[in-house]
Amino acid sequence: MVISNTLLKASLEAGKGFFRQPVQQDAQRSGAALDAQPVMVPIRSIGPGHRERIAVHLMALGQSDRYLRFGYAASDEQISRYVEGLNFERDEIFGIYNRKLQLLAMAHLAFSISPELQSGAEFGVSVLAKARCRGYGSRLFDRAVMHARNEGVDMMLIHALSENAAMLNIARKAGARIERIGSESEAFLKLPLANLDSRMTEMVEEQMAQTDYHFKVQAKKFRDFVATLQDARRST
């Protein structure tokens, strides 16, 4: 599918979730000058064919990160059961990949199955330690909010440990109402109705992310081919 110049221009003017400025606090913390150019972070919707990469990603999390993500120090076996139980037909999984096709960050947007909360969804996110301080958690949250909004969801729930300051800060900045219950907290974010702007932005962002991923796949195949040739030459 080819994205027309008109559609691309309209999307870039309409939404800011895909092209955003680098995170200011991260640049200030590192002492680096703020870059005036937007940073592109392709966020792709991923399906059941990526279960293995999802499992590898989650199992690469340290014990403290697993504790913050799941609310308990999940074992590899528990993570495997979680991954096998993902419902890709009902829920939405978003991911950020590097050029080696490693899943650096992922978000799970779980739609409510409760009759009382038919228009609700819960958000969970994880980011590998080496990919921190890039704003990936915030960008995945924005992407999930846009999708939930376009699916008719009017309330997003973020259930987190009260010590998970990073996740709660993301929700707070989005305008969520946070309720603390002992060691756990719940953030409730009211979502606006979908409109042409939000639908067009999501459509183009997803297409661009898919294109970026397929380019990375082809580039990796080429690098692997070159590496094979070099190994063959060295062995002769």
Which run of H or of E encompasses 217? Answer: helix 196-235
Contact 58, 82 (CB under 8 A): yes
**Span 14-38, mean pLDDT?**
42
Q: What is the pLDDT of residue 226?
A: 86
Give the CA distances from residue 183 to residues 63, 71, 160, 164, 178, in Å, rounded to whole numbers and listed in that order.
Answer: 18, 10, 9, 10, 13
Q: Which helix (H) or strand (E) element contains residue 78?
A: helix 76-84
Instruction: Band the pLDDT of 234: cuts 50, 70, 90.
Output: confident
Q: Estimate to the nearest angstrom the gap between the alpha carbon of 2 and the chain centroid.
A: 24
Q: Are 174 and 159 in contact (CB under 8 A)?
A: no
pLDDT digits (tens, 9 = 90+) for 79-129: 999 999 999 999 999 999 999 999 999 999 999 876 665 678 999 999 999
If pLDDT is split at 50, 70 and 90, which confidence band does 39 have? low
- State the pLDDT at residue 155: 93
* CA–CA separation, 37 and 187 (whole Å): 32
Helix axes of 136-150 and 196-235: crossing angle, nearest 10 degrees: 130
Report the pLDDT averaged over residues 178-196.
94
The pLDDT assigned to 97 comes to 96
Contact (CB, 8 A) for 153 and 175: no
What residues are paired with 107 via a beta bridge? 94, 125
Q: Which domains does the chain have, with CATH numbers?
A: 5-235 (3.40.630.30)
